[in-house]
């Protein structure tokens, strides 16, 4: 094993120009894919943040007492899809309306009595996702005898999810295309390295080396290249992230949302994927060389 590492390291130094070229290619490829991943992760988080603002308002019938309203709120809060329920009385609702319309309170001056019914403001669980899930919860609430009407911005929500799903699908297709393109570039760069060493591999085989003796150091080298290239690509992305973040973080383009770098899970996945691409490129080429 140590001998294999030693030979792989020696080859790294010996073929430094080709390895350098391959390293740069992998770094750039990883930089592009990771930048895409960074965008996706943050766009997804931004969507989730918007989604958390969705509330379902259940307007209660006029003959429902405050006691009954609180009992219903407690009951609804037991549902797994519901995070919390708050009771808003008609008076509180009117007060809130006055605050919202600001200087135009004259519009409400002629009201002889408060027309607003008591309501329950339902905050769905964070895990609840998709317009259908919101529809189902709203339908269940509306089915209650105490509830006169339910409002949750159904049309807006459906449009929002339509755009969100389209975005996600487009992003997934684009990411897949970019990854495939990069796999080809990476694999072909590794092929170049091996082609330049075709004679050496041939000689090693003629003198009696078995396939493992030839293959394993090459696999190791290609995976090392994939790993080092990925580390450099991610480091480059992090540097870019640090320089761009002040412009888009709170106080910048996005006042509330905090832009984040890729999680450790993502970084690990990218490192593994890069090593895998290196190995695949090497495997295909070595397989061709070892045929007789």
Partner 1 sequence: MTQTDPLDNRIIRFYQVSKHFGDSWALHDLSFDVETNEFLFITGPSGAGKSTLIKLLYMGERMSSGYAIVDGMNLTRMHRRQIPVLRRKIGVIFQDFKLIAHLNVFRNVALVMEAAGFKSRTEIRRRVEDLLELVGLADQAKAYPPTLSGGEKQRAAVARAMVGKPRIILADEPTASLDPDAAERVLRLLCAAHARGATVLITTHDRELISRFDTRVIRLQGGRQVADAAGNAGGECP
Closest C-alpha among 66, 165, 79 to residue 119: 66
Phi-psi region of 208 (alpha: psi -120 to 50; beta: other; left: phi over 0): left
Q: Indicate which single residue of 121, 157, 205, 231 sits in contact with partner 1 (rule: CB under 8 A).
A: 205
Burial of 26 from C-beta contacts in 10 A (0-12 / 13-18 / 19+): buried
Region 273-292 residues binding partner 1, contact defined as CB under 8 A: 290, 292
Instruction: Tell me whether residue 217 is exposed, middle or buried, using C-beta atoms within 10 angstroms of its C-beta: 0 to 12, 13 to 18, 19 or more.
Output: buried
Choice from 203, 244, 253, 269 touching partner 1 (CB under 8 A): 203
Phi then psi for residue 254, to 5 deg, are -115, 105
- From the list 204, 245, 248, 280, which residue makes contact with partner 1 (rule: CB under 8 A)? 204
| Beta carbon nearer to partner 1, 196 or 258 | 196
Question: Which residue stretch of 41-49, 55-63, 199-207, 249-257 sits at the interface with partner 1 (rule: CB under 8 A)?
Answer: 199-207
**Residues in 208-237 at the binding interface with partner 1, rule: CB under 8 A:** 208-211, 213
Structure tokens at 284: 């295909």
C-beta closer to partner 1: residue 213 or 276: 213
Stretch that binds partner 1, among 98-106, 182-190, 195-203, 238-246 (CB under 8 A): 195-203
CA–CA distance, 35 with 49 (Å, rounded to integer): 21
**By CB under 8 A, which span of 185-193, 203-211, 222-230, 239-247 interacts with partner 1?**
203-211
């Amino acid at each position: 094993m140590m001998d294999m590492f030693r030979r792989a390291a020696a080859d790294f130094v010996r073929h430094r120009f080709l390895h350098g070229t391959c390293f740069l290619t992998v770094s750039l490829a990883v930089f592009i894919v990771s930048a895409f991943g960074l965008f996706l992760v943050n766009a997804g988080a931004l969507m989730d943040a918007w989604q958390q603002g969705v509330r379902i308002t259940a307007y209660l019938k006029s003959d429902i007492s405050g006691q009954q309203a609180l009992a219903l709120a407690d009951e609804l809060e037991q549902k797994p899809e519901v995070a919390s329920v708050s009771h808003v009385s008609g008076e509180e609702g009117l007060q809130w309306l006055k605050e919202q319309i600001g200087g135009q309170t004259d519009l409400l001056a002629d009201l002889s009595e408060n027309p607003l019914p008591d309501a329950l403001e339902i905050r769905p669980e964070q895990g609840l996702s998709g317009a259908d899930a919101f529809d189902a919860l709203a339908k269940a609430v509306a089915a209650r005898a105490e509830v006169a009407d339910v409002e949750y911005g159904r049309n807006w929500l459906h449009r929002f999810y339509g755009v969100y799903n389209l975005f996600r699908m487009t992003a997934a297709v684009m990411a897949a295309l970019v990854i495939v393109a990069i796999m080809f570039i990476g694999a072909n760069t590794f092929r170049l390295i091996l082609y330049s060493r075709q004679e050496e591999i041939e000689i090693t085989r003629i003198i009696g080396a078995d396939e493992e003796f030839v293959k394993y150091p090459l696999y190791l080298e290609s995976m090392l290249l994939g790993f080092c290239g990925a580390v450099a690509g991610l480091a480059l992305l992090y540097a870019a992230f640090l320089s761009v973040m002040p412009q888009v973080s709170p106080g910048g383009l996005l006042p509330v949302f905090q832009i984040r770098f890729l999680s450790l899970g993502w970084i690990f996945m990218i490192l593994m994927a890069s090593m895998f691409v290196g190995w695949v490129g090497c495997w295909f080429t070595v397989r061709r060389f070892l045929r007789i």
